[in-house]
Amino acid sequence: MAERIIEVEEQITVGALAEKLMLPVSKLIGELMKNGVLATVNERIDFDTAQILVGELGLDIELTKKKEVIDLVVREKRKANQKGENRPPVVAVMGHVDHGKTSLLDAIREADIAKGEAGGITQHISAYQISHKDRQITFLDTPGHEAFAALREHGALLTDLVIIVVAADDGVKPQTIEAIRFARKAGVKIIVAINKIDKEGANVPQLKQQLAEQDLLVEEWGGDTVVVEVSAKTKVGIPELLDMVLLVADVEELKADVNVPATGLIIEAHMEKGRGPVAICLIDEGTIKSGDYIVAGNTYAKIRNLESTTGKPLVEALPSTPVIITGFKLLPQFGDEFEIVKDEKTARSKAQTVGRQRKEDGSNQDIGSGELIRLINRSNQITEFPVIIKADVQGSLTSVIDSIKSLDNEEVVVRIVSSGIGSVNESDAHLAHTSGATVYGFNVELPTDIKRLVSRDKVSVRLYSIIYELIDDVSKELTKLLAPEIVEKETGKLTVKGIFKTSKTEVICGGEVKSGKLTAPSLAKITRGKEDLGEVEVTNLRRGPQDTKEVFEGEMCGMTVITSQRIDLQEDDTITFFTRESVARQL
């Protein structure tokens, strides 16, 4: 019987687990490294990994899995709030990359967003409202590429309903399964939109079977999963899909109090020329008005501009409405909760309190992989690739950093010298020059004056609009830093038939080539049965009285063998010729 029983979540950060186990976090990270897992304090590990760690450390502790509870104020308040007025449902659209999520939303909005997106992939969360049968529906279009897993998960937690888009010709994919898991974890209703039903190769029955394997049994098979067959191209099934969204919303009886100070979440943030920090907010409850004081994390604002996500000026906004807000002192962080307060003094005080807390937390925990590894084992020779990351919006910046840090291993790590929102600027160029860092920009520009500066200082600036291309570039750079692998290739074998001369460092012998081709000069190994006698160098070969460069299988030859130590070579010993090459390794 274990001395202590500790409850942990399905996913837990290394730092939180160390705290529960009452161990130094470096001890835990060191144990993870022994098992080939490179993790920082803030990285999450699953329950099974946590159990293995406890066993490896020999702790008299039993881990049990805590029942999943969504620790999100927004979700709890929404469920608890049965009073107030009806509000629009908030719907997240998720699924595998290229299964047509954005195209489906285009069909709903009768807009043309997909063509304008780099690589045809949604790069960050978009939020907007549409009207169907005189009722509002708020949509969140969440990214589909695996690099945006964190954004997708947050998208599920913000919503009442998830539409999982699956292509009829491609079926259930890993990201589809991931989206299903996120939706279940968030405790929201799921509607499956089977897209591309008019495409050649579409197999709806097979897709429904794949859904059943993920415990999503469609209604016609006796389950409770709503499935709607649609075509974003021809708009078939779109009205029926929206009808089902409203039906599910009616069953859920979604309500919110409009007569309280507004609260909600920051779902995107970026810098805009002439407007400064700009945030896209999703209102949970209450009413926001232009001129209100708003606090979000460690920043605050007197709302200067209140707009819809289409840019239309608003006087006020109600629950479940995504709005654009300007006037923040600093750029708020993606996922920050916001609230409306009575005056500027209160707003400033609350923001400063959060700022101090984050600074204290960061001083203890915001450590990169390279630093952690050095703390654990200073003798480790870690090669670093220094980078500066700039992105257009906060959510994208988080995803880029998380994605490239996941490339770290025990030999090479990415060191984030600096990161921020907005175009590459003079400060970035100077920092890159002094630190030797490569500047990566995601969906940002390189101004002309900065272009001249980086050219003069020979600073490498690489701009990307598709995240997986940026990640591939970083991966290639890390691969170049890996120590090459030494590969030995056998070229031929000879059995010794006679010894003609032996000295301390040289042996002249002869024998028969049993396999392959012998060449000189060459490296070789001498073995007697299964015993390895050592490595030698063959400096020349002789066929009869003549020197030769190569001898083939079945032929007899003589040779001169140079050794670094005396080897008692005997008849019937085997001399194996080989080449040794250094081969570039892959990450």
Which range of 111-120, 197-206, 214-223, 532-541 scores highest in mean pLDDT? It is 532-541
**What is the arithmetic mean of pLDDT over 337-349?**
92
| pLDDT tens readout for residues 204-254 | 888 888 888 888 888 788 788 888 888 888 888 888 999 999 998 888 888
CA distances from 380 to 31, 484, 559 (A): 15, 17, 44
Which range of 42-46, 132-136, 439-443, 578-582 scores highest in mean pLDDT? It is 439-443
- Asked whether the predicted pLDDT for residue 306 surpasses 90, the reply is yes
Decide: helix, strand or coil at residue 447.
coil
Tell me the two tokens of residue 523.
């490296």
| 539 sits in which H/E element | strand 531-543
pLDDT band at 71 (very low <50, low <70, confident <90, very high): very low
- Asked whether the predicted pLDDT for residue 80 surpasses 60, the reply is no
Find where tokens 């470096």 sit.
Answer: 26
Q: Which residue has the higher pLDDT, 473 or 355?
A: 473
State the average pLDDT for the chain.
81
Closest CA to 460 of 434, 415, 481, 429: 429
Closest CA to 58 of 128, 3, 121, 135: 3
pLDDT at site 537: 93
**What is the arithmetic mean of pLDDT over 459-474?**
89
Q: How far is it, in rounded angstroms, from Cα 385 to Cα 476?
A: 11
What DSSP state is assigned to residue 150?
H
pLDDT band at 553 (very low <50, low <70, confident <90, very high): very high
- Asked whether the predicted pLDDT for residue 102 surpasses 80, the reply is no
CA distances from 361 to 24, 132, 462, 542 (A): 16, 46, 32, 74
Find where tokens 């032996």 sit.
Answer: 502
- Asked whether the predicted pLDDT for residue 120 surpasses 80, the reply is no
- Asked whether the predicted pLDDT for residue 519 surpasses 90, the reply is yes
| 548 sits in which H/E element | strand 546-548
pLDDT at site 134: 87
pLDDT band at 115 (very low <50, low <70, confident <90, very high): low
The one-letter amino acid code at 189 reads K
Question: Which residue segments constitute the domains of the chain, with CATH numbers given?
Answer: 4-65 (1.10.10), 88-253 (3.40.50.300), 263-362 (2.40.30.10), 369-481 (3.40.50.10050), 485-583 (2.40.30.10)
pLDDT band at 125 (very low <50, low <70, confident <90, very high): low
Decide: helix, strand or coil at residue 517.
strand
**What is the arithmetic mean of pLDDT over 100-109?**
79
Q: Would strands 61-65 and 4-8 be described as parallel, antiparallel, or unpaired?
A: parallel
Q: Which residue has the higher pLDDT, 512 or 407?
A: 512
24-33, long-range: CB < 8 A, 24+ apart: 26/372, 26/375, 26/376, 27/57, 28/53, 29/372, 29/376, 30/376, 30/377, 31/56, 31/57, 33/373, 33/376, 33/410
What DSSP state is assigned to residue 225?
B
Estimate the crossing angle of helix 448-456 against helix 426-435, to 10 degrees: 20
pLDDT band at 131 (very low <50, low <70, confident <90, very high): confident
pLDDT at site 378: 38
Q: How far is it, in rounded angstroms, from Cα 193 to Cα 102?
A: 13
CA dihedral 452, 456, 460, 461 (to 10 degrees): -10
Tell me the two tokens of residue 67.
């029942």
What DSSP state is assigned to residue 585?
P
pLDDT at site 305: 92
Over pLDDT 70: what percentage of the chain? 84
CA distances from 237 to 135, 240, 288 (A): 18, 5, 35
Q: List, in sequence order, every residue forming a beta bridge with 532; answer none if it has no partner.
A: 527
List phi, psi (to 5°) of 24: -65, 140
- Asked whether the predicted pLDDT for residue 111 surpasses 80, the reply is no
| pLDDT tens readout for residues 358-376 | 766 543 344 444 444 444 4
- Asked whether the predicted pLDDT for residue 68 surpasses 70, the reply is no
| pLDDT tens readout for residues 140-189 | 876 544 444 444 455 555 678 888 888 888 888 877 887 788 777 767 78
